[in-house]
Amino acid sequence: MLPLANKERAMAPKSYGKLDLTFQLLRGKTRMVDVYQQPPLKASRELYPEGTGDVTVYLMESSGGLVAGDRNEFRIHVGQGSSVTLRPQSATKVYPAFNDAPSTQQVTVKLEDDAKLEWNREEVIPFLDARFDSKTSIQMTPSSSLLWSEILYPGRDKRGEAFAFQECNTHVDIWIDDQCVVYDALHLHPKKQELKKLGALENYNYIGNFWCFSPKVNLSDVHMDSMLVQQDNHKSGMTTLESNGILIRWLSNSLPLLKKEMDTITNYFNGIVKEN
Amino acid sequence: MNKQSADLSSLSNIEDISTNLLYLMHIHDSAFPIGSYTHSFGMETYIQSDEIRTKEDLFEFLKMYVLENLAYTDGIFVKEAYEQMKAEGWDALIRLESICDASKNAVETRDASRMMGKQFLQAILPVFPNEHLKKWKQFVDEKRIKGHFPIAYSLYTVEMEFDLFTALLTFMYSSTVGLVHNAVRAIPLGQKAGIQVIHQLIPEIHKATKLVMERSLEDVSNHAVGLELASMQHKYLQSRLFIS
């Protein structure tokens, strides 16, 4: 069954999804003033679940995943004073690479002064034999705030796939004005690397990241120890970054626990960032 | 150009090359005051949790350190700095330094690399008052750069006209051997065990150096996530022998 399905996919035309969203603060409410969408990417309408001027938009992908050579591009512009939450509706599934063509994703974000963006939550699942290149570049200013969470899966865990992909490369850079504050890349090539070794990924399957930059966070007041459980199948570390930034990174074999902690941490920082 | 470099430009025989190598050995001597004996870069967390207990554990861990960490991080910064200094000059080097800083997530590891770089410049400049190194130190003093060790080291090797492979190989060697010495004290292990581990690591260091020679900035990767978490957790250890 599976090889046939793969063959059909291999013959499908390459797709090039695009989603350009521009947000502006208009009379106390954040509005999505400009949308350009090219299938399979699509944005939901503006939602105001909190009953405030903060907008939530779901990011939708109608094709079911990236096939070899497919590309998705997101361009997000958050205007001055706007407050935006973006929620990918589903995980990005990356199908096997044929003819060695990788699937690619590019996310470009620009935050103006006093803007706030929460990206909740980027999840990537590279399937057996997949090749994936993802690049995220975020340009912000000292007065803007960013909360960013992401989980990298080892494969379709329910099928017992773990690090069966060919390669998975993710890259995140974050700039505050012209200072580079994050330059974080993960290049995973399971067949060429010794990822299971102590100090590398060890016996853990899931990698989680939470990044936060905000002038409203006072690092000496941040107390997260009680929110982060350390146990045999799950561990994490927290570090401060340049320019008042924080990174929490997880290695875990418990996806529910990882998601729960990520939500708790996101809510905690949301509370701080949204305080006046 | 100062006397040392001038002498090197007229190298004519193997004696000169070997003598010149002593300058490189000198800065890689574990007694050279850059403070490597005070940093474990997260290794101490694993020693305290008993995950590194024996010489076999230590070898496996350091093999990972060389191939999955150094060869994807600092090794690449040494190589890129060496090539950019030769080809492109200060602006490219300053940009590279800021990327080096931003790529080190764990604050203790980031600070350790900055401290060692600054101490290296302080130790070398009085005996090797080279104009380019002085300028680099001035950038540190003006806070234009942070002073990271791999870049400062690379600058020195360019000025001393060492070839890139030798500069890189010895950098990988001393970074790893420094950790062996520290582990021997912290676990503790006997001197003999330490020597054995170093001997076993030399082929891995050679292999990793050859890999780095083929890599560039876009290959930088933080996939030694366990070590990064260990470095983040280090400050919470109850008693510590090392700063990082």
3-class DSSP assignment, residue A141: coil
ipTM: 0.92
Spatial CA neighbour of A62 closest among A121, A97, A17, A11: A17
**pLDDT of A3 over the 70 cut:** no
Give me the pLDDT at residue B1, please.
40
Q: Is B222 in contact with A184 (Cβ distance < 8 A)?
A: yes
Check pLDDT > 80 for residue A7: no
Contact B233, A198 (CB under 8 A): no
Residue A4 has pLDDT above 90, yes or no: no
Residue B146: inside a domain, yes or no? Answer: yes
Query: If pLDDT is split at 50, 70 and 90, which confidence band does A224 have?
Result: confident
Furthest C-alpha separation in chain A: 57
User: What are the backbone dihedrals phi and psi of residue A229, each rounded to the nearest 5 degrees, phi first?
Assistant: -85, 135
A145 forms beta bridges with A116
In this prediction, residues B62-75 reach a mean pLDDT of 98
Residue type, B76: I
Q: Is the pLDDT of residue A216 over 70?
A: yes
Whether residue A236 contacts residue A250, with contact meaning beta carbons closer than 8 Å, is answered with yes
CB contacts, 8 Å: B60 with chain A:
197-198
Whether pLDDT at B19 is above 80: yes
Mean pLDDT of A214-229: 89
**Which is nearest to A81 in space by CA: A153, A157, A143, A165?**
A143
Kindly provide the b/e burial profile for residues B108-141, where b requires at least 16 CB atoms within 10 angstroms of the residue's own CB.
Answer: bbbebbbbbbbbbbeebeeebebeebeebbebbe
For residues A69 and A276, which has the higher predicted lDDT (pLDDT)? A69
Write out residues 222-261 of A within 8 Å (CB-CB) of B: 235-242, 247, 249, 251
DSSP state of B129: -
Share the mean pLDDT of chain B.
Answer: 93
Q: How confident is the model at residue A10 (pLDDT cuts 50, 70, 90)?
A: very low
The tokens for B179 are 């950790």
Closest CA to A238 of A227, A225, A229, A247: A247
DSSP-based three-state secondary structure for B86: helix
* Structural domain includes residue B176: yes
Can you tell me the distance from the alpha carbon of A155 to that of A94, in angstroms, rounded to the nearest whole number? 9
- For residue B220, which residues of chain A lie inside 8 Å, CB to CB? 183, 185
Name residue A227's amino acid.
M
CB pairs A-B closer than 8 Å:
106
Interface of A with B in 144-173 (CB under 8 A): 173
Q: Closest approach of chain A CAs to the CA of B37, in angstroms? A: 20
Q: Which residue of B has its CA nearest to A211?
A: B105
What residues contact A100, with CB distance under 8 A and at least 6 apart?
A131
pLDDT of residue A276: 60
Domain that holds residue B84: 46-217
Which of A133-137, A159-163, A244-248 bottoms out in mean pLDDT, i.e. has the lowest? A159-163
Tell whether the model's pLDDT for residue A1 goes beyond 80.
no
- In chain B, the residue whose alpha carbon lies closest to the alpha carbon of A245 is B105
Average pLDDT on A50-61 reads 96
User: Of A134-138, A240-244, A260-264, B3-7, where does mean pLDDT reach its minimum?
Assistant: B3-7
CA–CA separation, B222 and B225 (whole Å): 6
Percent of chain A with pLDDT over 90: 84
The pLDDT value recorded for residue A219 is 86
User: Within a domain: residue B238?
Assistant: no
Count of structural domains within chain B: 1
Structural tokens at position A53: 């001027």
* B40 in a structural domain: no
Give yes or no for A188 touching B (CB within 8 A).
Answer: yes
Query: Which residues in chain A have their CB less than 8 angstroms from residue B224's CB?
Result: 199-200
Within 8 A of B227 by CB-CB distance, chain A residues are 199-200
Averaged confidence pLDDT in chain A: 93
B227 and chain A in contact, CB less than 8 A? yes
CA-to-CA separations, B121 to A244, B29, B73, B86, B155, in angstroms, rounded: 28, 15, 21, 19, 10
pLDDT digits (tens, 9 = 90+) for A92-149: 999 998 777 899 999 999 999 999 999 999 999 999 999 999 999 999 999 999 999 9
Q: Do B222 and A241 touch (CB under 8 A)?
A: no
| B126 is a domain residue | yes
| Contacting residues of A for B98, CB less than 8 Å apart | 179-180
Q: Which of A200, A236, A237 sits opposite B68 (nearest CB)?
A: A200
* Contact criterion met (CB < 8 Å) for A200 and B52: no
Question: Which domain CATH number covers B166?
Answer: 1.10.4190.10
For the cut 90, the answer to whether the pLDDT of residue A233 exceeds it is yes
Using CB atoms, pick whichever of B60, B67, B106 lies closest to residue A198: B60
